[in-house]
Amino acid sequence: MRIHVVRPGESVYSIARLYDVPSQRIISDNELSDPGQLVPGQALVILEGTRRYTVRPGDSVFRIARRYDVSVAEILEANPDITDPAALQVGQEINIPPREISFGEILVNGYAFPGIDRGMLERTLPSLSFLSIFSYEVRPDGSLGDINDEPLIQAARAARVAPFMVITNIEEGGSFSSDLASTILNNEQLQDTLIENVLRVMRQKNYYGLDIDFEYLYPRDRENYNNFVRKVAARIRPLGYSLTTALAPKISGDQPGLLYEAHDYPVHGALADHVILMTYEWGYTYSPPRAVAPLNEVRRVLNYAVTVIPRRKILMGIPNYGYNWTLPFVEGSAASTISNTAAVELAKREGAFIQFDPVAQAPWFRYYDSNGRLHEVWFSDARSIYASLALVNEYRLGGISLWTIGRYSPQYYLVLNAVFNVRKVL
């Protein structure tokens, strides 16, 4: 696998010649809607496959290997008929193996809303280990709001993907509620009612496990939340269910802030089977323009997390979206969400040149709209996902968690499946 960054004047045809691959493969792999118009700075995934090369005068195994950026050993392994590497014959045809990067095996979780397009779901499931269906909203009396999740559960199991029930402290028609969570976490009877309702749904709908995603908890509820997770683990694990919790991206155990203080990394790391670190939203709807998941910031979270959570339990969060901001940034103004593929299409329409931030490991660009307003767009591409996966490999984590799979980014799955084998648990 290679990642090629388009230069001005390049075409799919010229890039295909550069890597000695069919141009149609580049078009289909990257799902280029208009292959006749590439964007300068756009990233393309090149899956080379095995190619045939005709030996020319002056060629040597070493020279051919260097040209294709593979090792001499790989050339010889792909051509067992070459018994004397020093005696290549002009006109001889040899196999050129693809450059391979193998990080081993990985667990992949994908969050999905019940209304996800079924075609998009079917395309994504082969690259997932877990499907977390978002979400069952907890009510103040310990009951649960219902969702239409059964079609997703059935599709997941048919693809050997383990479906996870997600419970949240999101108020009906609202957002995450500190008060709602506090009501539950300070009442043992309500907790028992909630757990019974969770178990009923998991049994009836054939879930594999439970993902607890309680956010914006009052700091005073930290131990109550720990005890709730203990109680859930004690109830569901003997029944064969798996337990995951989702945690805010902390860089220290005592990090202040409503998002962070009640999320106890060591306790969750000990109790849960997997912990999802929500390593995104540095750039968010109401922030100034910046990368959604700057890799330098994600690294700071991992530096702390691996000291208190077993590495193989950690699933690193990866965003599957970007934002479009209007400049100059005004406090309180809102950016609009944009998919990664739509961001490239926007850059194409506006004639923008895509830049790449080497620190954040994220692409971005600017353009003027029809009203003369300046915009700045940050998103993710093949370079971003590769950098994230390389970080997972570096820290020897258990896997990744995609938020969400509702917008299909073909490059994500091209790169993921090129460097990792996705482990199925069913």
Q: Could you tell me whether strands 51-54 and 421-422 are parallel, antiparallel, or unpaired per DSSP bridges?
A: unpaired
Query: What's the burial of 80, exposed, middle or buried (CB within 10 Å: 0-12/13-18/19+)?
Result: exposed
Is 77 tagged catalytic? no
Three-class SS state of 197 = helix
- Are 333 and 318 a contacting pair, CB within 8 Å? no
Q: Rounded distance, CA 109 to CA 42, Å?
A: 27
Q: What is the DSSP letter of 138?
A: B
Rg (CA), the chain: 24
DSSP assignments along 26-45, one per residue: HHHHHT-S-TT---TT-EEE
Q: Which two tokens stand for residue 383?
A: 């370079």
Q: Rounded distance, CA 381 to CA 252, Å?
A: 29
Q: Rounded distance, CA 67 to CA 95, Å?
A: 13
Q: Which two tokens stand for residue 83?
A: 């018994």
Identify the sign of the CA torsion 190, 192, 196, 199. positive
Q: Which two tokens stand for residue 247?
A: 């945690």
Catalytic site residue from 137, 215, 261, 376: 215
For residue 243, the cross-strand partners are 210
Which residues participate in catalysis according to the annotation? Answer: 215
